[in-house]
Amino acid sequence: MKQENKGFSLVELIVVIAIMTILTGLISAGIGMAVSKPADECIDKLKASLQSIRVTSMGKFDAHIEIYKKGDQIYAKEYYTEDSSGRETTKENIVGFKGVQVFYEINNSGSYTELVDGGTPLVIYYDRSSGAFSNAATGYYCTRIKAVKNSRTAEMILYPLTGKIEIQ
């Protein structure tokens, strides 16, 4: 005898809804991670540039870094000056892409300044003898840098006395 099944059972409906719920959760988590990645990546690249400048400034070069915004991108420009010849070389890296905003705090003031296109760059020097941050050229210490993209904020704390950098 032939039986015609023209519908679907309650069990099949529950299985389909469960699969759709799992897929929705996975896609939502993936989108959330993709949205927060640019802010974290910006802070990681800034930390790497700062550590490179610190090591270099304690070696045979005088070095400092300028962090600035040009167009929709955040740049870190590293300056190296040889002691013997006085020749200066630069290395420019893109550390933040479209949509990433970078803010910095000066001297633990509690207020942040945003890097804007065409604005004053954030300049950071290290003391050659100790590896601590130096304020001799700028008159200030940068104590925090944060990168923001949508609702994600990545923050870096800079300790002036030691030159230590900590990501939160």
**pLDDT tens column, 42-98:** 999 999 999 988 888 888 778 889 999 999 999 999 998 877 777 888 899 999 988
* 90 domain-assigned: yes
Residue 46, pLDDT score: 94
* 2 domain-assigned: no
**pLDDT, average across residues 156-160:** 92
Residue 34, pLDDT score: 61
Coil/strand/helix, residue 155: strand
* 3 domain-assigned: no
**pLDDT, average across residues 98-114:** 91
- For residue range 128-148, list pLDDT tens digits in order: 888 888 887 788 889 999 999
**pLDDT, average across residues 29-33:** 67
Domain range for 157: 10-167
Residue 155, pLDDT score: 94
Which regions of 71-132 does DSSP assign to beta strands (E)? 73-82, 88-96, 101-106, 112-114, 122-126
* 48 domain-assigned: yes
* 39 domain-assigned: yes
* 1 domain-assigned: no
**What six digits make up the tokens of 99?**
């949509």
Distance in angstroms (rounded) separating the CA atoms of residues 157 and 167: 6
82/1: higher pLDDT: 82
| CATH number of the domain to which 151 belongs | 3.55.40
**What six digits make up the tokens of 115?**
């890097």
Cα torsion angle, 101, 70, 104, 157, sign: positive
Backbone angles phi, psi at 64, to 5 degrees: -150, 170
Tally of structural domains, the chain: 1
Residue 57, pLDDT score: 84
Q: How far is CA 155 from CA 34, 61, 147, in A?
A: 18, 29, 6
**Is 80 exceeded by the pLDDT of residue 28?**
no
